[in-house]
A = this chain, B = another copy of it.
Amino acid sequence: MNATLPSQVEQCERTGRIDNFRRAAGKTEKEFQGRYYNDSDVYKLMEALALARHPRATALLDALIPEIAAAQSPDGYINTHFAVDKAAERFTNLKDMHEMYCGGHLIQAGVAHHRATGRTDLLDVGQRFADHLLSLFGPGKREGMCGHQEIELALVALSRETGKTEYLDLAKHFIDTRGRGLIGGSAYHQDHVPFRELTEPAGHAVRMLYYCMGAADVFAETGDVSLMWTLTGLWDEMAGNRMYLTGGLGSRHSGESFGAAYELPNETAYAESCAAVANVMWSHRMLQLTRDAKYAEVMERALFNGALAGISLDGTKYFYVNPLADFAGEHRRQAWFDCACCPPNIARLLASIPDYLASESDDALWLHTYADSTVPFSHGAVEQRTGYPWSGDVELRVLADGEFSLQLRIPEWAEPQLKVNGKEYLAEPGRYAEVHRVWSRGDEVSLSLGMRARLVESHPYVQENIGKVALMRGPLVYCFEGADNPADLRDIVLPDNASFTGLRNSLDVIALRGHAGVVLAGDALYRESSRAARPSAAEVIAIPYFAWANREPGQMAVWMRKG
């Protein structure tokens, strides 16, 4: 985060995103620069700066807040694209113009800032925008909603932060009235059927996921089970037949959208970084609502793989699109984009990682994933010592007294051993292992998850993965890169019994080395089927998917031929 946050502030300045606010405030005569939704990048970055809770980030944020505040109209409206000459066009095109979407990110930044500092200067800007919305939209007022969901979850967060239920009501209203063609009726905008009639994720992936996040938040506040019924069905469809191994979502470049069930092409995957980020966030919400370990499994998968791949190891370059194969060797991260939704989205995710580690219920502390850290909770804290995800060994020291449960998530891939003060406890893969007892400060919990490389395969309906395997170790998906391997990746065949050894490499990640075969392909496009040619033996090396494209350009593949 040391490199990421300052460099993103610089990019926002360089590309006129901050000047747009100055222009709206009358401080400069410059033209509006960039895309009409660019305010949202600044807001997401401000949310990341607030979440970081770091003096340098705070200083950067403190400089930005007055620039934003000065750009707000007296009536609470704020959007720099519709400032100055375009003021008359405000809210004239809800479907396309992202005004509430931008405002939603403003509200999220304000809430994060308030939580981190107790200050209300940024929250107030967001709240004035929300009050402006309340004056215009809602039952008996103007119909319609934003073409890109985001305001819904932001209004719930604002309602929670301020105690004002009108914001929640408006969020609920936007969800309840969507899907009836008020903004054109397209599946791209999820305006084709009402939320409660959705049976599969459809349309623009990020919109779909933000929609679900908003609905989950409304359910959390209202207990409206018709929302939760739909949410669990949609999530199962997503994770059950439309999700890349990496947690990436959105199979199609066309419309940045979900595809059909099992439509998961590798080279042409879209898998926008923002969609993986949203997968983490939505799955986290589902986990909070249900404490079902399946949500934690996917949250962790998307976090460590699909989302983390979106940013370079040096923290300054980004993927927008995240294919699972690149045989041309041309896909590279960029320092910024005209449409720069992904960089600050990754930044705010990384800045909020502590929020994903654990949560608390009445009588338990739930540990969802593991990291070297101290996790505070109402009884005190739990200290974690672990090299996770490189190592599967987690040593916990309980810094609390009293009767409560520790709920330790056991990943589906684990071969767990759990001991409390040396005494063995039951732990099963894919569930939370509960340790309920009267704890004394200094009690020691030792969890060994068993971190071994394993080959995974896809459901056979995924057409591009038939006859292929992928390599995983713990929660990490691995990939093969040209830089490490002796042949065109398409000529490498992993045997069924392939075994791999971990070793730290020059990228400071644990690479996996193993034996494989290389089969030269020959020229014929089609030929009579025969027993495969005898492969020549070769040593191959895989690295974590998130670390790919950090060396010279070259091929990459997650799914490899088996046999």
Where the two chains meet, the residues of A that have a C-beta atom closer than 8 Å to any C-beta of B are: 239-241, 243, 245, 254, 260, 265-267, 325, 327-328, 413, 454-464, 466-470, 490-491, 496, 519, 521-531, 561-562
Closest Cβ of chain B: how far from A465's Cβ, in Å? 9
Given A457-B527, A457-B529, A496-B529, A467:B467 Cβ within 8 A: yes
A454 to B529, CA, bound (A): 8
A461 proximity list for chain B (CB < 8 A): 327, 490, 521
* Complex contact B469–A468 (CB within 8 A): no
Copies in the complex: 2
A191 to B400, CA, bound (A): 74
Which chain B residue shows the least CB distance to A491?
Answer: B460
* Complex contact A521–B466 (CB within 8 A): no
* Complex contact B528–A455 (CB within 8 A): yes
A521 proximity list for chain B (CB < 8 A): 459-461
Closest Cβ of chain B: how far from A347's Cβ, in Å? 29
A243 proximity list for chain B (CB < 8 A): 525
* Complex contact A245–B526 (CB within 8 A): yes
9 contacts between A and B (CB under 8 A): A245-B526, A455-B529, A457-B526, A459-B521, A459-B526, A460-B491, A461-B490, A463-B464, A467-B467
* Complex contact A525–B266 (CB within 8 A): no
Given A265-B265, A460-B561, A469:B522 Cβ within 8 A: no
A527 to B429, CA, bound (A): 13
A241 proximity list for chain B (CB < 8 A): 525
Closest 3 CB pairs of A and B: A467-B467, A455-B529, A466-B467
A459 to B325, CA, bound (A): 17
A562 to B526, CA, bound (A): 15
A522 to B464, CA, bound (A): 18
Contact check: which of B454, B464, B522, B527 meets A456 at CB < 8 Å?
B527
Closest Cβ of chain B: how far from A331's Cβ, in Å? 14
Which chain B residue shows the least CB distance to A470?
Answer: B526
* Complex contact A524–B490 (CB within 8 A): no
A530 proximity list for chain B (CB < 8 A): 457
A460 to B455, CA, bound (A): 20
A169 to B413, CA, bound (A): 71
* Complex contact A460–B528 (CB within 8 A): no
**Looking at A463, A468, A562, which has the most chain B CB atoms within 10 Å of its CB?**
A463
* Complex contact A466–B469 (CB within 8 A): no
Which chain B residue shows the least CB distance to A239?
Answer: B525
Given contact pairs A464-B464, A466-B466, enumerate 19 new A-B contacts (beta carbons under 8 Å): A240-B523, A260-B328, A265-B463, A267-B463, A454-B529, A455-B528, A456-B526, A456-B527, A457-B526, A457-B530, A458-B526, A459-B521, A460-B490, A460-B491, A460-B521, A466-B561, A467-B467, A469-B529, A529-B562
A456 proximity list for chain B (CB < 8 A): 526-529
Contact check: which of B240, B265, B469, B519 meets A460 at CB < 8 Å?
B519
Closest Cβ of chain B: how far from A517's Cβ, in Å? 12
Closest Cβ of chain B: how far from A201's Cβ, in Å? 14
**Looking at A457, A496, A562, which has the most chain B CB atoms within 10 Å of its CB?**
A457
Closest Cβ of chain B: how far from A252's Cβ, in Å? 10
A243 to B328, CA, bound (A): 20
Which chain B residue shows the least CB distance to A521?
Answer: B460
A260 proximity list for chain B (CB < 8 A): 328
* Complex contact B562–A524 (CB within 8 A): no
A464 proximity list for chain B (CB < 8 A): 463-464
Which chain B residue shows the least CB distance to A253?
Answer: B254
A519 proximity list for chain B (CB < 8 A): 460
**Looking at A241, A266, A519, A524, which has the most chain B CB atoms within 10 Å of its CB?**
A524
Which chain B residue shows the least CB distance to A462?
Answer: B525
Closest Cβ of chain B: how far from A124's Cβ, in Å? 45
* Complex contact A525–B459 (CB within 8 A): yes
Closest Cβ of chain B: how far from A50's Cβ, in Å? 36
A265 proximity list for chain B (CB < 8 A): 265, 463
A458 proximity list for chain B (CB < 8 A): 525-526
Given A240-B523, A463-B267, A521-B459, A454:B496 Cβ within 8 A: no
A267 to B251, CA, bound (A): 14
Closest Cβ of chain B: how far from A49's Cβ, in Å? 36
A527 to B457, CA, bound (A): 6
A457 proximity list for chain B (CB < 8 A): 526-530
